[in-house]
Amino acid sequence: MSALAGKTAENLLKIRKHKPLIHNITNFVVMNFTANALLACGASPVMAHAENEVEEMVAFAGALVLNIGTLSDPWIAAMLKAGRKATQLGTPIILDPVGSGATALRTDTAKQILNDTKVSVVRGNGSEILSLAGQGFTTKGVDTLHSVSDAAAAAGQLARELGTTLAITGLVDMVTDGKRIVTIEGGHRLMPLVTGTGCAATAIIGAFLAVDADPVSAAATGLAFFGLAGETAGTRAAGPGTFMIQLLDALYTLTPEEVARRCRIHED
């Protein structure tokens, strides 16, 4: 068992013991699913996006999840307000730049959040991460045109420039802060066929950030746990519909001991 596999189990145990409150300003397509994913793993979700309450709410939270999947001007204002308050309080922030690179609104919003707040982790697919690098790459909606390996070369430099940790998800996930690189295997071929699996992965990382002060460790162990849950769900599912249910069940039933034994997580 690797040290990071043991850390994955340790973080999961902490989440289930302490049930940290995770404040989500996320897209309305996935709110229900991501809330259920957080509940299943042991965390306590709150979906609060009204600008006149986000500062108060984030003050109670162990982590703040910002997801730009369904943007509007009021939601952008709420994200920035919550993010600035979280930065002031030292509360970890995870950003999911859904579809960044597809439109100017999404790309500019993701960059503004990064400029105006202290983001601990950015979780995205290869295209979304590359769009933040400002290299003129484009995406196809919220789907990725670039693999993790395509983004890997730029990721280290970008992480250093932004002063954050990048979690790039794909067939093999990669986490880097520009110094350390962790790779994670897992997941299942049905995951891209269920809306919200990527957003749920982001939320799970938020829960792990609430109990682990090291963003690289939190992001990598969160993805290792989520990937193992997806792998487990895939062995029981007949298709996308049952996969979604089985994924929630796996997030709930996986034990720390099983996680430590089965997850595949390696630091290069």
Q: 144 pLDDT exceeds 60? A: no
Banded pLDDT at 138 (limits 50, 70, 90): very low
Measured in whole angstroms, how far is the alpha carbon of residue 36 from the centre of its chain? 15
User: What would the mean pLDDT of 118-122 be, rounded to a whole number?
Assistant: 98
- Give the integer Cα–Cα distance in Å for 24 and 143: 22
Q: What pLDDT is stored for residue 158 in this prediction? A: 87
Which of 229, 199, 167 shows the shortest CA–CA distance to 42?
229
Span 135-151, mean pLDDT? 48
Residue 245 has pLDDT above 90, yes or no: yes
Q: How far is CA 29 from the centre of its chain?
A: 16
CA distance 199 to 33: 9
Name the band, by pLDDT with cuts 50, 70 and 90, for residue 130: confident
Whole-number Å distance between alpha carbons of 102 and 105: 9
CA 79 to chain centre: 16
| Number of domains the chain contains | 1
Q: Is the separation of the CB atoms in 238 and 151 below 8 Å?
A: no
Task: Report pLDDT digits (tens) over 8-21.
Answer: 999 999 999 999 99
CATH number for 12: 3.40.1190.20
Instruction: Say which range, 72-81, 159-168, 214-223, has the weakest mean pLDDT.
Output: 159-168
**Chain segment 6-61, per-residue pLDDT in tens:** 999 999 999 999 999 999 999 999 999 999 999 999 999 999 999 999 999 999 99
Collapse the DSSP code of 153 into the 3-class scheme (helix H, G, I; strand E, B; otherwise coil) and give the result.
Answer: helix
pLDDT of 84 strictly over 90: yes
pLDDT for the residue 29: 96
Token digits of residue 128: 């979304």
Residue 204 is part of which domain span? 3-267
Q: What is the DSSP letter of 80?
A: H
Confidence category of residue 268, pLDDT binned at 50, 70, 90:
confident
Are 251 and 245 contacting, i.e. CB atoms less than 8 angstroms apart? no
Mean pLDDT confidence for 128-139: 67
Quick one: pLDDT band at residue 137, thresholds 50, 70, 90?
Answer: very low
